[in-house]
Structure 1
């Protein structure tokens, strides 16, 4: 009798059990502020990821597969995520296929794609290697074979490739904030080159700036954020350059150093993969800094985060850092600065008004390098 009762109970429980089913995407609130974390997945390069966190508390809410080293960009209206990536027919080898995939930002479902020339830069996640035009119509993708060029796609017309723009000796993508088919790129001779295209993708103008940095003595980082339709570039020694890339000719407007002589004696230098970000509300720049800097330490995690006035270059505050390798100020939602801990892979949220730590996320991915908070 006891055996019969036990078997009957087990049978009833089996009938009531409902196995978890895989979901086809998620459903994120449209008004939820997000932090996108680009994970290079260095232990398994064909399987990079873009992780999504809730920008208010750092909770994990979703993930997008981004193939082999997939660079990503967010549309200006924050409704779409573009992934420019590579797939091999036999996962790690075979025939190469470069593609651009479109994902809905709320469901994280793929809604479209388009073929790319098999030239996309096989590079670690980095800002300014895939970006949209200011109006969202075009997507620009960095190529390297190793010859450098930029692929231009019309994401409003069947994701069609409009042009491939040769950019010899230059790298990085900096779209004009006023002209949809005008892009600039950073060159090894210390200048910026600006290319203007017509509606069918033909180059109509190509002009260069004055030299504003020396690639041997004080190079600049590729990531370059924008503010008030200007781009900002940070040098390895702590010099901030402001450039106007709206017109056909790039114009260098200002170069200033925020590292004092006393700081320099202690070897304070910027460090990280995304070493600085701009606070538009307060007109400040936040820079990850490390002491005892020297040749080759430009990617070292930050020991401090310095707050610097954009107009004067005066340092306003110093905050202890949890080994930050990427910094990003939220462009919408909470008034937060996000910092990526390069040792623990956690995202740290700071309240900008006080620079008080408000959350530390769980570890994210295996080799996160990039933050975006649109």
Structure 2
């Protein structure tokens, strides 16, 4: 028996070949420009196929440029005090084999050009999702890069002095979360946090392990936490929020609360995707990418974004999602003069109603009127929503071949 959704894919199969007829206008080459100061509505989108991070002005729907990266997954880090972007990267002398070199590359936010690189031990973790595989200290002096061989450790890099400082073992504990000007922590398999404090030279001053703050057997947290101000928000597979306050001398584990109520559980609502959380620090909002599915569906794409007040632990609204946009080989599939009626109308209907949202990643701009940005891993396109009302505003495409992670790192001055 055919599923009810098969006819939707039939329309897409007919329309996509027709769209390839569209003419692509040639770009004017030879122009070199410098970017203005970073804007809150600049979104950075990583592309694992093209091995780069695309820089997009989602307010103007304008593609600004790219920041290159190396082999495998990567996580750019953004300085607010210096016009710099830090990218832990891996290179092999024979592309996918040969001698391995790991570095922290530094790029300019003004030109997106390469500035310098700092060699680090060739051990950095190359996992499918790079979230929290590196962290920038709160004073923006040190970068911690998570290493994973048969053991785990952090490579500490002084980005002010442009030098590798030390490798610090984190026995059995993984990832890197910034927790102050000289402090990082990692997650441990028993539900505790492994905390490392650095001295002013970036070497280990103190280490300690906290008591467990979640139960890894009954309901573990995912590693895809998001930070708002001094609080990290970890969410468990069953939707329980575990806030971790890093403002004091010791990590403080705040009371837990839930994203879902009993009715939501009965309807099998849960978080999922590659990057299922976003937060707005000033407004005190947490955004969660949700879908309906059973246990172990935490990698499924989301169909809605739920918005929560983190102070009241209350859901404010549900935002139904649309497909972010379709691209092929880096070109947008969208109507132009070569499309004949009713193809434009049918294609718009397909994008807005017939194709599932397939959203895997979300982020939120940090301005007074924030935008919610969504992405599908199979397309180089962004969906743009009013984060407060949930209104769908536009699609921005093309931005690349595929979209992995999203970042809106710059805050508004107002």
TM range (shorter): 0.7 to 0.9
Please state if 1:299 is matched with 2:272.
no
Please state if 1:96 is matched with 2:74.
no
Please state if 1:106 is matched with 2:107.
no
Deviations 1:141-200 (A, max 9, x none): 11111311111111111x2111211112211211123xx221111111111121112223
Q: Which whole-Å CA distance do the structure 2 matches of 1:347 and 1:334 have between them?
A: 18
**Mapping 1:1-374, distance limit 5 Å:** 22=30, 26-32=33-39, 33-41=41-49, 48-69=51-72, 70-77=74-81, 79-157=83-161, 159-177=162-180, 180-295=181-296, 297-321=297-321, 322-332=357-367, 335-374=370-409
**Which stretch shifts more, 265-274 or 278-287?**
278-287
Q: 1:266 to 1:28 in 2, by over 3 A?
A: same
Q: Which whole-Å CA distance do the structure 2 matches of 1:55 and 1:253 have between them?
A: 35
Task: Determine the structure 1 residue equivalent to 2:324.
Answer: none
- Stretches of structure 1 that go unaligned for 5 or more consecutive residues are 1-18, 42-46
3-state SS, counterpart of residue 263 of structure 1: helix
TM-score scaled by structure 2? Answer: 0.78
Deviations 1:200-254 (A, max 9, x none): 3442322222222222332222232222312111111111111122445322112
Q: Is the 8 A contact 1:196 1:248 kept in 2?
A: no
Q: Which whole-Å CA distance do the structure 2 matches of 1:89 and 1:311 have between them?
A: 51
Task: Determine the structure 2 residue equivalent to 1:15.
Answer: none
Q: Which whole-Å CA distance do the structure 2 matches of 1:215 and 1:325 have between them?
A: 24
Q: Is the 8 A contact 2:381 2:400 kept in 1?
A: no
Q: Is the 8 A contact 1:244 1:251 kept in 2?
A: yes
TM-score scaled by structure 1? Answer: 0.86
Q: Which whole-Å CA distance do the structure 1 matches of 2:61 and 2:287 have between them?
A: 20
Deviations 1:73-98 (A, max 9, x none): 11133621111111111122111111
Q: Is the 8 A contact 1:126 1:223 kept in 2?
A: no
Q: Which whole-Å CA distance do the structure 2 matches of 1:309 and 1:333 have between them?
A: 16
Q: 1:210 to 1:80 in 2, by over 3 A?
A: same
Q: Which whole-Å CA distance do the structure 1 matches of 2:168 and 2:113 have between them?
A: 31
Q: Which whole-Å CA distance do the structure 1 matches of 2:169 and 2:209 have between them?
A: 14
Q: Is the 8 A contact 2:135 2:145 kept in 1?
A: yes
Shift of 1:21: 5.1
**Which has the greater radius of gyration?**
1
Q: Which whole-Å CA distance do the structure 2 matches of 1:309 and 1:150 have between them?
A: 34
Shift of 1:109: 0.4
3-state SS, counterpart of residue 174 of structure 1: strand
Q: Which whole-Å CA distance do the structure 1 matches of 2:401 and 2:216 have between them?
A: 31
Q: Which whole-Å CA distance do the structure 1 matches of 2:82 and 2:387 have between them?
A: 22
Shift of 1:135: 1.3
Looking at secondary structure, tell me which structure has more strand per residue: 1
Q: Which whole-Å CA distance do the structure 2 matches of 1:85 and 1:96 have between them?
A: 11
Q: Is the 8 A contact 2:379 2:401 kept in 1?
A: no
Q: Is the 8 A contact 2:136 2:178 kept in 1?
A: yes
Q: 1:26 to 1:221 in 2, by over 3 A?
A: farther
